[in-house]
Amino acid sequence: MNIEAIKSIYFFEMARTRRTLLQSVVSPVISTSLYFIVFGAAIGGRIQEIDGVSYGAFITPGLMMLTLLTQCIGNGSFGIYFPKFTGTIYEVLSSPVSMVEIVLGYVGAAATKGLMIGTIILLTASLFVDLTIAHPFVMVFFFVLTAISFSLFGFIIGIWAKDFEQLNLIPMLVIPPLVFLGGSFYSVKMLPPFWQAVSHFNPVLYLISGFRWSFFEVSDVNPIFSAVIILAFLTICMSVLAWIFRTGYRLRN
Amino acid sequence: MAPIVSVSNLSKTYASGFKALKGVSLDIEQGEILALLGPNGAGKTTLISIICGIVNPSGGTVTVGGHDVVRDFRETRAMIGLVPQELTTDAFETVWNTVTFSRGLHGKKPNPAHIEKVLKDLSLWDKKDNMLRELSGGMKRRVLIAKALSHEPRVLFLDEPTAGVDVNLRKSMWDVVEKLRASGVTIILTTHYIEEAEEIADRIGVINGGEILLVEDKAALMSKLGRKQLRVDLAHPLDDVPDVLSSYNLTLEGDGHCLIYDYDTSAERTGITTLLAALAEAGIRLKDISTRQSSLEDIFVEIVGAGR
């Protein structure tokens, strides 16, 4: 195992986070605060509680997931796409580094950044609402596995994307609707039966629901299902990556 | 001694169906400077890219230091430094960070003293804290060389290293190459500037259309394929080469003002003395005589032209 190389890629990527600190850290804090003002204060005035949880606290896990998913996909995809775009990928491909090590470096950095920002949002949220975490280990389980699997997903998008439009397609057009319609700001039980049924085809619902259960022990679906879904997604991403490595798809001609 | 790089029957067909390499075989000896010459699209970069691991081969094998480049990629890539043709750099990184990153990527522990030496050798030391986007093209080229040298490679590939580089920088770059060779590093370079190859290479390989046309010791190549020409400027123009001189295969140029005689310096007799005597005997008055050695460029054009 080329530990030096993994460290080099990881810290090289983390250095970019430091350079773009304002955009990376301050902007999620501001947007979270805005969500709390709009949803928590304005709408929360009308919806007092959902399943016995105050509305402001109820939306916190959803907000964390929204940011975690967007950040991890964004960082995971950009980290590998940018060297492809500038051409500096030649160096990674010609070094004594296995594909697993490349992934550990890039995806490790993307997941770390996602987790850092998720934690910042949790801390910001705790300034607005009273938060208790009923099952901290389960919370960390969902938090970390979601960060890793969506960073892997982003990495795959970064390898697949041929231009910036493709790079932004999924994070901008697919993820936000899935997160918003996945019960970030409401319980799907509040929807008419038809839309409740449709919502169950949205994988993000399971993530948010499981994550929320770890906080408040309330959920739209059984948390075991949520754990199965996230583990299944992780397995799918790893299988796709294994295929990419075997074939050299869009990396080695 | 076993060759440091051994390419055997290597072929590459891209997904588009383009055959970039057609059964290339080539041995590169330890410590030599090999110049690979060839027109655009000849397959030079594909060959280098396969050896370095950037492109997967379609067939054949490559070994570096006795290790297979696909199976034992860790061993081979750790030995190789690559300076690519394109000026690809991380615009927002500093010179120091990007060179240090390259060393780590090759599995080497940090060694600031080595990085400092490399940067000083390439006159980059005072730029070490500059971001790459602030550097000129020539400076960026040097940074790419510094990155390739950061992990102390045994084999260095320079793909068109002097494209767009000014004369001074080119000279200092060749000084670095000379030093590396003296320390035992094997250097493979591709270039469009044939005079460069003529100046610094030990051996010349000519590649065209995905095939190696020849690999030869430079001096041997020059003497084998290089010809000399004697140019005789005449006081009075001639309409035709006189019959008495027909055995010399002379050609008339410059509206009859100049006779050209091709000869071989390695032959027992060059025929120059008898030609000059024959000219005097035929009553042809001379204004001037000069000789010209064909350059590597002439040889290259001839080989590539014949291969077409």
The C-alpha atoms of residue A231 and residue A211 are separated, in whole angstroms, by 14
Q: A49 burial class (0-12, 13-18, 19+ CB within 10 angstroms)?
A: exposed
Given a cut of 60, is residue B308 above it in pLDDT?
no
pLDDT at A249: 80
Distance CA B162, CA B303 (A): 24
Average pLDDT value for residue range B150-178: 86
Average confidence (pLDDT) over B120-131: 92
Q: How many CB atoms lie within 10 A of CB B164?
A: 11
Report the alpha-carbon distance of residue B93 to residue A181 in Å, rounded. 40
A94:B80 CB<8 A: yes
pLDDT over 70, % of chain A: 99
Same domain? For B69 and B192 the reply is yes
Q: Which helix (H) or strand (E) holds B300?
A: helix B296-307
pLDDT digits (tens, 9 = 90+) for B260-285: 998 877 677 888 888 998 988 888 88
Residue with tokens 């986070």: A17
Q: Is residue B169 part of a domain?
A: yes
B304 within a domain of the structure (yes/no): no
Rounded to the nearest angstrom, the minimum Cα separation between A117 and chain B is 23
| pLDDT reported for residue B78 | 95
- Interface predicted TM-score (ipTM) of this complex, two decimals: 0.85
B233 and B219 within one domain = no
End of a domain among B223, B246, B274? B223
Half-sphere exposure of A140 (CA within 13 A, CB side): 2
Contact residues, chain A, for B89 at CB < 8 Å: 86, 88
Closest CA–CA distance from residue B84 to any residue of chain A (Å): 8
Partner-chain contact B77 A96, CB within 8 Å:
yes
Residue B66 in this model has a pLDDT that exceeds 80 = yes
Q: Are B88 and A87 in contact (CB under 8 A)?
A: yes
Looking at every residue in chain A, the average pLDDT score rounds to 89
Structure tokens at B222: 């020059």
Domain boundaries, chain A: 3-247
Residue B141 in any domain: the answer is: yes
Question: B84 and A95 in contact by Cβ < 8 A?
Answer: no
Examine the domain organization and report whether B196 and B238 are in the same domain.
no
CA–CA separation, B201 vs B213, rounded Å? 17
CA within 13 Å, CB half, A204 = 24
Q: Do B142 and B187 reside in the same domain of the chain?
A: yes
Is the CB of A9 inside 8 Å of chain B's CB atoms?
yes
What does the pLDDT read at residue B243? 86
| B283 is a domain residue | yes
Q: List the CATH number of the domain containing B258.
A: 3.30.70
User: Among partner residues B56, B90, B106, which is closest to A252 by beta-carbon distance?
Assistant: B56
Contact B73 A90 (CB under 8 A): no
Q: What is the pLDDT of residues B68-116, one digit of tens each?
A: 999 999 999 999 999 998 888 888 889 999 999 999 999 999 999 999 9
**Nearest residue, CB atoms, B107 vs list A2, A16, A19:** A2
Residue B302 lies in a domain: no
Please tell me whether residues B203 and B234 are part of one structural domain. Answer: no
In this prediction, residue B307 carries a pLDDT of 60
- Which residue from A7, A83, A90 is facing B104, i.e. has the nearest CB? A7
Q: Are residues B245 and B199 in the same domain?
A: no
pLDDT digits (tens, 9 = 90+) for A21-73: 777 778 878 888 888 888 777 776 777 788 888 888 888 999 899 889 988 99
- Residue B272's domain spans which residues? 229-294
pLDDT at B226: 64
**pLDDT for B216-265, tens place per residue?**
888 887 776 667 888 999 998 988 888 888 888 888 888 889 999 988 77
Last residue of a domain, one of B196, B223, B250: B223
> Does A162 reach chain B within 8 Å, measured CB to CB?
no
3-state helix, strand, coil in chain A (%, to 5): 80, 0, 20
Strands (E), chain A: 49-50, 53-54
**B275 phi/psi in degrees, rounded to 5:** -65, -45
Shared-domain flag, residues B190 and B47: yes
List, for chain A, all residue ranges whose pLDDT scores fall below the cut of 50.
Answer: none
For residues A146 and A141, what is the distance between their CA atoms, to the nearest angstrom? 8
Q: Do the bridges between strand B203-208 and strand B228-234 make them parallel or antiparallel, or are there none, so unpaired?
A: unpaired
pLDDT tops 90 at residue B49: yes
State whether residue B67 is helix, strand or coil: strand
Distance from CA of A116 to the nearest CA of B (A): 23
- Residue pointed to by tokens 């920002």: A117
- How many structural domains does chain B have? 2
The whole-number pLDDT of residue A228 equals: 95
B152: domain CATH number?
Answer: 3.40.50.300
